Structure formats: C-alpha cells, structure tokens
Amino acid sequence: MMNAPTRYREPSDRITALLEQHAPRAIPIRTIARELGIDRKTVAKYLELLAASGDVSLERFGQKKLYRRAHRLPLPEVLHRLPNALVILDGDLQVSMVNASFVATLGIHPPRNLVGARLLDLDLPVFSEPAVRRNIERIHGAETYLDEMQLIDDGTDRVYLLEFAPIVTPPARPGVMVSLRDITATRKAEAALKNAEQKMATLFETAPCGIVIFTASGTVLNANPTALRALGLRTFEQLRPASIFALVGPPETLEELIAKGRAAEIELAIDFYCMRREQVPCAKPGGASFDAVFTPIRRDGGGGPGEFAILFRDITEDRYTRRDLASQEIRS
C-alpha cells in the first residue's frame, strides 16, 4: 500500500511530465485530465498543490485557467550568479554558504571548502580587519551595527564596499549575511573626475582671458575674475541680474551663434553706460572692444548644447593705439 507522499508524487509527477511535453504552451485542466485519464477535480487539486509549491504556474485567459511547468532556479545557483561577493553565516558564525564571486574577489587560491568553518577563525582578506569583525559580532550579539562600510585593504590598496544584514531564523541566534563589492575602479574614476574638476576650476579662476558662461535665454551663470575686472565689477553677484544680450553687442550676433550652436571667433563691444541702466554697478566709463571666442558647452548625454561660453580679451587699448598711429601717419 502506498503511503501519502507516494500517492501525492505519482499523480503530480505525471502532471508535471505532461506539462513539460506541452511546453512552452500552457494547457487547461480538461486537457490534462483527458490525456492522463484522471478526473478534473483530482487534477485541479494536484495543480493547486503544485502551484503552491512553485512547480506549476497559473495563467488566466478570460475565464480559463491555463497551466505550464514552472522552472525554478535553485537559490544556491542564483547566489552564485550574483556579481557581489556573498557569505552567509549561521548562528554560530560558521560559514553556511559562499558564492563564486566571494572566492574570486578575495583571491582564495586554490579554492577552499569554507563551509562549516568559523569565519572569524579564517585568515581571509578584508574579514581579518578588526572593524569588520566587530561589526559581525555586533549583529551576532543583537547589538547596534553598521549596515555598510567602506574598507581599504592595506595589502592590495583595493577599496571594498561591505553591506551587512542579520538573518533571523527563530529560535536560533541570528545569522549574518555579508555582501562585498570591489569599488576600486569606481573610486579611482571619482578621484580622477574630482581632480579634473579641480583643474578646470583653477583654469577658470586664473585664466588671463575673461570667461562668461550663460544659457540660451541669456541668463549669466558664471564669470571668472578676469571677466569681472574687464567689466569693472568686483563680484559675480553684481553681474547676476544682467542678461548677456544686454551686456555685449550686437546682440543679434550672439543670438545667431546660439541658434547655430557652433564655435566661432567674433568681436564684441560693451557699453558700460548700458550696463548701469541694467542695474549692473559697473565702475568703468564709456565702452570697450573685445576679441572673443564663442563656444557651446555640450551635454554629456548628447543633444543640443544647454549652456554657452564667451572667452574674451580686451582690445580697446590696442584699438586706440592703432588709431593714433594711423592719425600720425596721415598728418605726416
């Protein structure tokens, strides 16, 4: 006489085998009952059990219920496919599981069977660090702990991001899951970007030419010290209320360049009286002429430029000098 588990497995195995035969197509209860020679109520009961266990998936099509074989990926295989290194400890801080990335990230060669060993007794990179060990012990003791930390491995100069989480399985003591990710490349990229930004900021502040950055609508976003001196201003706040179109002329030239979105060499004129009418407290009289380079500032993601810059040099004195020389030559 078959016991209960055997009675359950025999029909359920036949049902799952039939669903495999029909895969990937989902089929209704009546098809299963007809092909297996089992009444529909019995099939429905077993399908309900198989769906609850995750072996069968149910799909609804109007009033119909259609079933297909569910292919579940075993949890250990899922964990082995994760890019992050992962170690799971039981309530005694013994290793229950490590994934393939854990072995590769920590450079464990040849691969050792760590399962069953107490993690804190193993001389593993990163996990031998006192801060990491203390945090694991805090979780084990149900104390306040850090859910993540960054660590630089002195031996390799690698930078790691560690994430910690308790695994509660009453009535046992809490286990611990630690995720480990090598973020060295990310940190180096961030450092390189910060260094580049600092260099650009230094260049902007110390450039011998004036630099003004603005939007297509004319809003002035920034100006370097050389530009402020050329405009007779002390601080950028004095320039902020003005539109770039009110500062430089002819404005039509600037509007055309913005529309084209291409770099160009141009000559600009600035009327300091006009600046004062625009509530810009310019300390210079008259006006000035400038040789300038107009350039769009491209976005990282592509598309049209959102900002523009003018790099300029005051040529007013050169203009006066040339005019005086020309006058002298005419008189002579």
Which stretches of 79-227 are assigned E, i.e. beta strand? Answer: 85-89, 95-98, 148-153, 158-167, 175-182, 210-215, 220-223
Q: What is the CATH number of the domain that holds 31?
A: 1.10.10.10
For range 42-47, the mean pLDDT: 91
| Same-domain check for residues 210 and 309 | yes
Question: In terms of residue numbers, what domain contains 23?
Answer: 4-69
Longest dimension (CA), the chain: 132
| Same-domain check for residues 86 and 165 | yes
Q: What is the pLDDT of residue 52?
A: 79
Q: Residue 212 in contact with residue 236, Cβ under 8 Å? A: no
- Summarised one tens digit per residue, pLDDT across range 176-185 is 999 999 999 9
| Same-domain check for residues 175 and 232 | no
Selected residue with higher pLDDT from 226 and 250:
226
Domain-located, residue 327: no
Q: What is the pLDDT of residue 332?
A: 58
Q: What is the CATH number of the domain that holds 175?
A: 3.30.450.20
Q: Look at residues 150, 146, 109 and name the one whose alpha carbon lies nearest to residue 126.
A: 150
Q: What is the pLDDT of residue 219?
A: 93
Q: Residue 133 in contact with residue 93, Cβ under 8 Å? A: no
| Same-domain check for residues 45 and 111 | no
Which stretches of 108-258 are assigned E, i.e. beta strand? Answer: 148-153, 158-167, 175-182, 210-215, 220-223, 248-249
Domain-located, residue 197: no
Q: What is the pLDDT of residue 5?
A: 45
Q: Over pLDDT 70: what percentage of the chain?
A: 89
**Which amino acid makes up residue 131?**
A
Domain-located, residue 114: yes
Burial class (CB in 10 A: 0-12, 13-18, 19+), 54: exposed
CA dist 255 to 74, 212, 260, Å? 63, 15, 9
Question: Is pLDDT of 279 > 70?
Answer: yes
Q: Which two tokens stand for residue 183?
A: 């973020």
| Same-domain check for residues 164 and 236 | no
To the nearest whole number, what is the mean pLDDT of the chain? 86
Q: What is the pLDDT of residue 85?
A: 93
**How big is the chain, counted in residues?**
332
The total number of structural domains in the chain stands at: 3
